[in-house]
Amino acid sequence: MREITAELLPDMARGAAVLGTGGGGDPYVGRLLAQQAIREHGPVTLVDVDEVPDDAVIVPTALMGAPTVMLEKLPSGDEISRALRAVEELIGRPATHTVSLEAGGLNSMTPFVVAAEQSLPLIDADGMGRAFPELQMLLPTLAGVTAAPMAMADERGNTLALRTIDNPWAERLARSVAVEMGCTAATSLYVLTGRQLKDHMVAGTITLCERIGTAIRRAREEHTDPVAAAADVLGGRRVFTGKVVDVTRRTAGGFARGEARLTGSGPDTGSVLELSFQNEHLVARRDGRVVVSVPDLICVLDADTGEPVTTETLRYGLRVSVLGAPCDPRWRTPAGLALAGPGYFGYDHDYEPV
Amino acid sequence: MREITAELLPDMARGAAVLGTGGGGDPYVGRLLAQQAIREHGPVTLVDVDEVPDDAVIVPTALMGAPTVMLEKLPSGDEISRALRAVEELIGRPATHTVSLEAGGLNSMTPFVVAAEQSLPLIDADGMGRAFPELQMLLPTLAGVTAAPMAMADERGNTLALRTIDNPWAERLARSVAVEMGCTAATSLYVLTGRQLKDHMVAGTITLCERIGTAIRRAREEHTDPVAAAADVLGGRRVFTGKVVDVTRRTAGGFARGEARLTGSGPDTGSVLELSFQNEHLVARRDGRVVVSVPDLICVLDADTGEPVTTETLRYGLRVSVLGAPCDPRWRTPAGLALAGPGYFGYDHDYEPV
């Protein structure tokens, strides 16, 4: 258990955006929101997974939608807290803790906003060990934990409660509502007990975000290689360095979808890397051959500063390094691959661990 | 107060489809559903508006979506009752009565299903005196009555509760969910007190449906003109008789939208009537000139039998008569016209009462 103050957030947000694999929202926006909430309501207590009682009532929150839109349309009021309180009403009990569902520049930071506003301890964990575009893509789904009872809220004051027959239906209905709410919505879902958290979530994600973010910053300060420093903490490897020469991007079905094309430099001169994304990077192909694929992590960093580059800020001329890093081992099981492997996203290649 | 038994329903459903102005669902499907529910659960008690106590808790229900789809995808279980029970949970009180929100082959009949299943008295009224495509188009909206708290349910078991800032937002969010649920959904909304019902709803709609349906049937039995008989009860007039020569139809945004073209016969020989619809008929143009327009009623009947023809069953070769009939006078006020007049639907003609 430790107190998180505002000055710790920039490193955490930077690391969270690396783990967000291009999605999960903008780290600058995320940490500004969290810093403001902490300044207003005081520091947030971060607790370790093993400090959480088995009967804890954990109510997570997340922003849902297209990150391209979230960059311009920020959460503007208490909509995330309203979503959490709507779930408390649905389950008839107050939350004892909150937690983030995915790693990402926004989705690792907005739980600090809720924790500060609602005076709830935040658990050092998440539900994926990365970010994924669809809401059923959470490790607890593999264990039968349900997304619903779920609530959604927008900045206007509309709220919505869902009880669905399964998690894919929660995704379908919530996605269409998120689109109508303006392509972003605050959500609260996957109520968990402490026992379920320990068994099915990823422990230590916030601390890992902080370690990644700190390693990048220190490498910059010490004039060593920040990309190598990030790869080292992630247990991953650099798969490409080059320049972005083309980005095709569209907001469709409530997601930011697109492709980016990179031409190599240094040892990668003469090669081309193609990235396909749906909020998050899904597949990286080098000269036509898959080199990293979901569920493994594809992290795009500024080649010089190591700063994470989200899919919505990818642009022509940017010099980037692309890392491949291993996902949580549960994603590599047959059930994990069925939920968020290449086949689910419509690709016909077999998954090969990075 | 009187008991409604299964054999009274065919006349009521026929008349309801006339008042439905092309929308509100298929009367054959509607009365089969209602008859089955009455056979299973016993007759339904129909009460007059002035028999309802001022503090009654009235929970209405309706089917929402594209009637073209409802023709093939019927309510298959208890989804309408589930929507009603979800609203009872939201308001924390049981319903004392139920009522239909619009007139229509399905939407005047499914309230009998709910009344029978839930043993609730059904009130002889509706919220429009006709059918309209969007859920905020209800006379109580003019008096500030809110659609939410509102619930939706599908045949799979998904349910959803909405609290919105206004009725247009209820329409927007619910429409997108209805589309995702398969272009139809059961809804429960516009909880009313008895006092609000008396002040803002249309009294006697079910009885009016029965009178219209009976008049058409009797005229057929007596070999007189069933179309004239319907016009007589509606206080309307025949504006065209002819043959359908073209129908363009598309399911878009959760509605059945389209146009139909009729060439005249008898006294209308040489003229052309064009109908534009969005679930319901919105505008009838004779030789390019508007002859009937929302909010007035445009009712298309089989020219020989007087049987109502819904927009989804309009087809090439059908010989029909088109009636224009006056709407409830509250629709003709500036506020009523702003809510459901030609301008709202994107037409630039001024409304002229039929």
Give chain A's contact residues with B (Cβ, < 8 Å): 156-165, 169, 172-173, 175-177, 179-181
Which of B150, B172, B177 has the highest number of chain A CBs within 10 A, making it the mutation to test binding with A? B177
DSSP assignment letter at B282: E
**Omega of the bond prior to A111 within 30 degrees of 0, cis?**
no
Q: Would you say B25 and B106 are in contact if contact means Cβ atoms under 8 Å apart?
A: yes
Give chain B's contact residues with A (Cβ, < 8 Å): 156-165, 169, 172-173, 175-177, 179-181
Q: Where are any strands of DSSP class E within chain A?
A: 2-4, 44-47, 57-58, 61-65, 122-123, 125-126, 150-153, 159-163, 184-188, 192-193, 202-203, 237-252, 255-264, 272-278, 280-286, 289-293, 297-302, 319-325
Q: Cα separation of B124 and A200, whole Å?
A: 54
B-chain residues near A179 (CB < 8 A): 176
Q: Cα separation of B299 and B309, whole Å?
A: 8
Which of A85, A136, A160, A188 has the highest number of chain B CBs within 10 A, making it the mutation to test binding with B? A160
Q: Would you say A81 and A1 are in contact if contact means Cβ atoms under 8 Å apart?
A: no
Give SS3 for B253.
Answer: coil
Hey, what's the torsion of the CAs at A261, A266, A270, A275, to 10 degrees?
-20
According to the model, what pLDDT value does residue A89 have? Answer: 95
Predicted confidence (pLDDT) at residue A348 exceeds the cutoff of 90: yes
According to the model, what pLDDT value does residue B122 have? Answer: 98
- Looking at residues A321-343, what average pLDDT do you find? 98
Mean pLDDT across chain A, nearest whole number? 95
| Nearest-neighbour CA in chain B from A280: distance (Å) | 24
- Who among B158, B160, B176 is closest to A179 (CB)? B176
Q: Cα separation of B68 and B311, whole Å?
A: 8
Sign of CA dihedral A329, A335, A341, A347: positive
When pLDDT is cut at 50, 70 and 90, the band that residue B251 belongs to is confident
According to the model, what pLDDT value does residue B77 have? Answer: 74
When pLDDT is cut at 50, 70 and 90, the band that residue A169 belongs to is very high
| Nearest-neighbour CA in chain A from B175: distance (Å) | 9
Sorted by sequence, the CB contacts under 8 Å of residue A210 that are 6+ apart come out as A8, A11, A12, A15
Interface touch B173/A164, C-beta < 8 Å: no
According to the model, what pLDDT value does residue B22 have? Answer: 94
Amino acid at B264: G
Q: Are strands B44-47 and B122-123 parallel, antiparallel or unpaired?
A: parallel
Instruction: Provide the CATH number for the domain formed by A225-340 in this structure.
Output: 2.40.390.10
Domain coordinates of chain B in residue numbers?
2-203, 226-340
- Who among A156, A169, A176 is closest to B176 (CB)? A176
Task: Give the residue from chain B lying closest to A152, CA to CA.
Answer: B162
Distances (CA, A) of A305 to A219, A222, A301: 9, 12, 8
- Who among B158, B169, B173 is closest to A164 (CB)? B158
When pLDDT is cut at 50, 70 and 90, the band that residue A171 belongs to is very high
Give SS3 for B171.
Answer: helix
A vs B, Cβ pairs < 8 A, gives: 52
According to the model, what pLDDT value does residue A165 have? Answer: 97
Predicted confidence (pLDDT) at residue A290 exceeds the cutoff of 90: yes
Predicted confidence (pLDDT) at residue B156 exceeds the cutoff of 80: yes
Task: Give the residue from chain B lying closest to A164, CA to CA.
Answer: B158
When pLDDT is cut at 50, 70 and 90, the band that residue B253 belongs to is confident
pLDDT tens digits for B196-246? 999 999 999 999 999 999 999 999 999 999 999 999 999 999 999 999 999
According to the model, what pLDDT value does residue B240 have? Answer: 98
Q: Cα separation of A164 and B199, whole Å?
A: 37
Give the number of other CB atoms < 10 A from CB of residue A112: 30
* CB-count burial class (<10 Å; 0-12, 13-18, 19+) for A317: exposed
- Which residue carries 């301008």 as its tokens? B343
- Looking at residues B8-35, what average pLDDT do you find? 95
User: Of the candidates B81, B100, B78, which has an alpha carbon nearest to the alpha carbon of residue B89?
Assistant: B81
Sorted by sequence, the CB contacts under 8 Å of residue A290 that are 6+ apart come out as A283, A284, A349, A352
Predicted confidence (pLDDT) at residue B73 exceeds the cutoff of 90: no
Better-scored residue on pLDDT, A147 or A69: A147
Q: Which residues of A19-44 are buried (b: 16+ CB within 10 A; e: fewer)?
A: bbbbbbbbbbbbbbbbbebbeeeebb
- Who among A157, A165, A177 is closest to B176 (CB)? A177
Q: Would you say A311 and A322 are in contact if contact means Cβ atoms under 8 Å apart?
A: no
Q: Which residues of A236-275 are buried (b: 16+ CB within 10 A; e: fewer)?
A: bebbbbbebeebebebeebbbbbbbbbbbbeebeeebbbb
- Looking at residues B288-309, what average pLDDT do you find? 98
Please, what CATH class does the domain formed by B226-340 belong to? mainly beta
Q: Cα separation of B215 and B235, whole Å?
A: 13
Q: Would you say B133 and B295 are in contact if contact means Cβ atoms under 8 Å apart?
A: no
Better-scored residue on pLDDT, B112 or B71: B112
Distances (CA, A) of B57 to B92, B97, B183, B191, B201: 11, 6, 29, 7, 14
- Looking at residues A182-210, what average pLDDT do you find? 96
Predicted confidence (pLDDT) at residue A73 exceeds the cutoff of 90: no
Interhelix angle for B110-118 vs B79-91, to 10°?
70
Q: How many residues does chain B have?
A: 354
Phi, psi (deg, nearest 5) at residue B35: -60, -45
Q: Would you say A342 and A283 are in contact if contact means Cβ atoms under 8 Å apart?
A: yes
User: Of the candidates A134, A129, A140, A142, which has an alpha carbon nearest to the alpha carbon of residue A325?
Assistant: A129
Predicted confidence (pLDDT) at residue A302 exceeds the cutoff of 80: yes
Instruction: Provide the CATH number for the domain formed by B2-203 in this structure.
Output: 3.40.1610.10
Interface touch B169/A156, C-beta < 8 Å: yes
Predicted confidence (pLDDT) at residue A195 exceeds the cutoff of 90: yes
Better-scored residue on pLDDT, B77 or B96: B96
B-chain residues near A162 (CB < 8 A): 158-161
Mean pLDDT across chain B, nearest whole number? 95
When pLDDT is cut at 50, 70 and 90, the band that residue B173 belongs to is very high
Region of poorest pLDDT, from A136-140, B310-314, B315-319:
B310-314
Better-scored residue on pLDDT, A313 or A66: A313
A-chain residues near B153 (CB < 8 A): none
Sorted by sequence, the CB contacts under 8 Å of residue A224 that are 6+ apart come out as none
Give the number of other CB atoms < 10 A from CB of residue B201: 28
